Amino acid sequence: MSPPDILIVDDDPRLREVVRYTLSREGHDVREAGDGQAALDAVAAQVPDLIVLDVLMPELDGLEVCRRVRATSRVPIIFLSSRSEELDRVLGLELGGDDYLAKPFSPRELASRVKAVLRRSEPVQAATPAPATERLQHGRLVLDLTEHRAWVDGDEVVFTVTELRLLASLLRHPGKVYTRDELVERAYDGKHFVSDRTIDSHVRRIRQKLRDHDLDPIETVHGLGFRLQKPRS
């Protein structure tokens, strides 16, 4: 198996050098892009296994890069930014980011986050044993656990890795109320702190994508968490 292909996107060459050194030592193949357009060109040439993406870049910032990448790909994205406010983190996740690391950060923490996101991008059933069919279905919605793909009425719906893990958890037990802490365990393996607003952002994106197909099976249970409606018989 070839090592993971990581694309580093940052306009600071010194930071790119630190990130490249850190991830290369972990056995990853690392490519670099010094601005947003170069990043889009690199993704078009070869979709990486993960993107480490700076938010604050001139001309084409990381949020816009994420928005454009998400139009065609579910490749995992870790945001890097000197902005540490929760609002900025939530915005990045709303656009389809899988994780967020504030500058300054330790190389060890970055390596840990990359490892965790890559692990989450492996087959979804690794978190919880999947049915023998390797597919979950809820009415018009079908989720393939090995291909990381979902369909509504045969039309594909593109979810991020984190969104797929959350959705798979809900699909396995329709009617069960999952607390936000339980969803954190399933989506992030409980390896680092994730706020309630982060989980809410992911669920909100899932619901919006399903609503685009006239489907809204997820319910908010106020004060507790979320659940998937039981299919109508």
Domains and CATH numbers, the chain: 5-120 (3.40.50.2300), 124-228 (1.10.10.10)
Q: Tokens in use for 183?
A: 């969803």
The pLDDT value recorded for residue 192 is: 55
DSSP secondary structure string, 171-231?
Answer: HHSTTPPEEHHHHHHHHHTT-S---HHHHHHHHHHHHHHHHTTT---EEEETTTEEEEPPP
What is the C-alpha separation between 53 and 95, in angstroms, rounded?
A: 13
- Rounded to an integer, the average pLDDT of 193-215 is 84
Max mean pLDDT among 2-6, 26-30, 133-137 falls in 26-30
The pLDDT value recorded for residue 119 is: 83
- Rounded to an integer, the average pLDDT of 110-127 is 74
pLDDT in tens, 16-47: 999 999 999 999 999 999 999 999 999 999 99
Parallel, antiparallel or unpaired: strands 178-179 and 225-228: antiparallel
For the ranges 7-11, 95-99, 226-230, the lowest mean pLDDT is seen at 95-99
Would the pLDDT of 125 be above 50? Answer: no
pLDDT in tens, 42-101: 999 999 999 999 988 888 999 899 989 988 888 999 999 876 555 566 667 777 788 888
The pLDDT value recorded for residue 56 is: 87
- Rounded to an integer, the average pLDDT of 128-152 is 78
- Rounded to an integer, the average pLDDT of 196-207 is 84
Which residues contact residue 24 at a Cβ distance below 8 angstroms, ignoring those fewer than 6 apart? 30
pLDDT in tens, 143-170: 998 888 899 999 999 888 788 888 999 9
Would the pLDDT of 13 be above 50? Answer: yes
The answer, as to whether pTM is greater than 0.75, is no
The pLDDT value recorded for residue 124 is: 44
The pLDDT value recorded for residue 35 is: 95
Tell me the residue length of the chain.
233
